[in-house]
Amino acid sequence: MATMQAIRIHGFGGPEMLVQDTCPVPQASGDKLLIRVRAASVNPVDYKMRQGRYPPLTADMLPVTLGRDIAGTIEAGEAGGYRRGDAVFAMLAPDQGGYAEYALARADEVAITPARIDAVHAAALPLAGLTAWQGLFDHGQLQAGQRVLIHGGGGGVGHLAVQFARVHGAVVFATVGTHDLDFMQELGVDRAIDRNVERFEDVAGDLDLVFDLIGGETQRLSLSLLRPGGRLVSTLAAPSPDECQARGVSGLRYAAQPSGRQLAEIAALIDEGHVRVEVAERFPLARAAAAQERLEAGGVRGKIVLEIG
């Protein structure tokens, strides 16, 4: 039986719980494609799973391979019209893991990798890109000419969200740290707000949408900036229904879902030169623990990616 290297957890806890194991290579069947993984990105959900703070993952399901984002090449499988050797990227379902030399993905989770970028940058896209895309358009219903405030514009999700919003013709405000102000200008943000020296509630207002990647007091203060009928969309927690009703606005929390179709739309924007992907740091697969520690420390511009093979 063919084997591969994978980073798994056998229990919950700190970075030391990440173990490199030798595992069987999974088999393609039905709608599943076997992908030879070239790169996998590191996301906050990964260390939350490791810590035991991801409720769908329980101790009786361990060991599991972590990682929701991959880029690589099709190794086996016939679903979806893909062929062996096709360069693809995907956000994996929670029952699969990307910190490995091989991974399975459903054909409808997969898209062809943008021609303008390599596997490392493609691996940085799926979860963050789909989180931004679905938050802005599926849940936020953002349209051209509307005003949107994106909290955490310099992060993995945020830096893609500001670009998607700009490309779709929105007026874009974004909160960032001082070190990311120039970065926001490069990405075309209409008004970057330095959260270290400015109060965003004094700068942004009359908003159609708040895209909340911060939560807490930031979220609460943001509700007052929405115009009647406006929306607040969060990846962290839903705002108070009572406060939303009192202000005549709506709010919700959501979790991104895999979508090869939407990844193909994002890939087109990249190949057309409208969107770029920022990779902050690269780590080899064996140093997945260090990569997670770096992400947990905060202050990362863009994404952290594991190079595999």
Evaluate if residue 54 carries a pLDDT over 80.
yes
Evaluate if residue 232 carries a pLDDT over 80.
yes
DSSP 155: B
Evaluate if residue 226 carries a pLDDT over 90.
yes
User: What is the spatial distance between Cα 152 and Cα 134, in angstroms, rounded to a whole number?
Assistant: 17
pLDDT digits (tens, 9 = 90+) for 2-25: 999 999 999 999 999 999 999 999
pLDDT digits (tens, 9 = 90+) for 252-264: 999 999 999 999 9
pLDDT digits (tens, 9 = 90+) for 64-120: 999 999 999 999 998 999 999 999 999 999 888 999 999 999 999 999 999 999 999
Class of the domain covering 128-253: alpha beta
Query: What local confidence, expressed as pLDDT, does residue 309 receive?
Result: 76
The whole-number average pLDDT for the span 279-307 is: 95
Share of the chain above pLDDT 90, in %: 96
Domain 3-125+277-307, CATH homologous superfamily name and number = Medium-chain alcohol dehydrogenases, catalytic domain (3.90.180.10)
Instruction: Check: CB of residue 25 under 8 Å from CB of residue 4.
Output: yes
> Of 236, 262, 232, whose CA–CA distance to 134 is shortest?
262
Mean pLDDT estimate for the chain: 96
pTM of the model: 0.95
Query: What local confidence, expressed as pLDDT, does residue 210 receive?
Result: 98
- Angle of CA points 249, 234, 179, to nearest 5°: 115
Give the chain's radius of gyration (CA, Å).
Answer: 19
Domain ranges of the chain: 3-125+277-307, 128-253
Domain 128-253 in the same topology as domain 3-125+277-307: no
